[in-house]
Structure 1
């Protein structure tokens, strides 16, 4: 599948090396304000998280907003999901799970809220993957997509200290104007796309990096945080994320 920058083996390896996946999700989880605004403004009752194993956002939406939630991914390891649910005082019956290849699946239902966080940038054809999201959105429903901004300082870190991970991302997709135009072409309305977060840098499997790299990363992180606290703004060069929102 030429459109895909990763394969199942990549994700199996990625998740199997992760430790401590079952965590208590706080009420101020990343993007909580934006999601709360969508849910309250549009009376959201149902939601699906695409490509979201182990289901942090599906669990978050169930725990704090009592939504009817579904997790769809083509790699789902139930014990990990169940442990995450238990950690958040939920059970297996609180979340629907669909384990399937998004490219070979026709939505059996549509949802008030369709979200993915860190998914679309793993595909070469950005318009195609966004349109596959749109197929799950009810008329009047909301599309909510976030992705990392590797055109910022954080991307420089990935490229120089974790090139293998960097190459699994479609950097061209990290363009708010491109994302907005795709949604507008698809006929969506109230389309908004922009940078989110003042500053952050991270590295996958940071504990395995050299002491020098970890120290350098910490110095840059602290410096960036201080700078953007004194002069708060969001920008292509510093913001770690991009958010896309639209209604069908």
Structure 2
């Protein structure tokens, strides 16, 4: 049920060791088109990003759509989030932050849009973590979840060259039909649940990997990008992500 790394001091050390976190979020940030369509069609005013530290999507939604935004995570290191806000010409007061364990928290408010990007795959009970998302969704509101697709070529690459990272993910949950069925059983209308993106590869802390691995990754990345530029399609074999969009009655 729990993330494999739950010690708070570990996360303090981990995030303080990272560099380049305070980036200027572009208007064409990943999933920008999908989020923009939801916001415009559904008249979204409020949103919460679950498990999203340091808050890239919270910042994106505030910066470009002027939403009333909340960020909720088990660990939030305020100096990192403040630096991210400053890099995007936002103030500390622009995002409401709730630092809490999602598994011991009862939502105080519900939101027009509830999203998480790269959260649910870190838990074994997929239905439970999705239902915890749903508890935050207003009637008529939208649930938007994205996660990596490690059943694709990218997953083979992770398993082969970064097994430690691969093992932190619940591979079984990376199934659009499974995710859709969980939402249907919870009474939501599934708008879409599908593989997303034509192709990509990545490695955590790539610069620390052996030169041969970095070269192979670059070669495969270029070949995959060229192939899917000529033949663009979403598929279980190549797409790097899965997206789920569902609406509460």
TM-score range, shorter chain: over 0.9
Could you say which residue in structure 2 is the equivalent of 1:185?
185
4+ long deviations beyond 6 Å: none
User: Is the Cα contact below 8 Å between 1:176 and 1:193 reproduced in 2?
Assistant: yes
Deviation at 1:12, TM superposition (A): 4.2
Aligned 1:181-220 pairs, distance under 5 A = 181-220=181-220
Take 1:68 and 1:103, find their aligned partners in 2: how far apart are those partners?
24
Q: For residues 151-207 of structure 1, what are the alpha-carbon distances to aligned partners after superposition, in whole Å with 9 as ceiling and x for unaligned?
A: 011111110111111000000000000000000000001431001100000000000
Could you say which residue in structure 1 is the equivalent of 2:240?
240
TM-score by length of 2: 0.97
User: Is the Cα contact below 8 Å between 1:199 and 1:239 reproduced in 2?
Assistant: yes
- Seen in structure 2, the aligned counterparts of structure 1 residues 25 and 82 have a Cα distance that, compared at 3 Å, is same
Point out where structure 2 has 5 or more consecutive residues left out of the alignment.
none
User: Is the Cα contact below 8 Å between 2:176 and 2:242 reproduced in 1?
Assistant: yes
Aligned residues: 246
Q: Secondary structure at the match of 1:124?
A: coil
Take 2:90 and 2:213, find their aligned partners in 1: how far apart are those partners?
39
Deviation at 1:38, TM superposition (A): 0.2
Q: Secondary structure at the match of 2:158?
A: helix
Q: Secondary structure at the match of 2:216?
A: helix
Could you say which residue in structure 2 is the equivalent of 1:125?
125
Could you say which residue in structure 1 is the equivalent of 2:4?
6
Could you say which residue in structure 1 is the equivalent of 2:92?
92
User: Is the Cα contact below 8 Å between 1:5 and 1:124 reproduced in 2?
Assistant: no
RMSD over aligned Cα atoms: 1.0
Q: Secondary structure at the match of 2:242?
A: strand
Q: Secondary structure at the match of 1:8?
A: coil
Could you say which residue in structure 1 is the equivalent of 2:15?
15
Could you say which residue in structure 1 is the equivalent of 2:224?
224
Take 2:11 and 2:205, find their aligned partners in 1: how far apart are those partners?
14
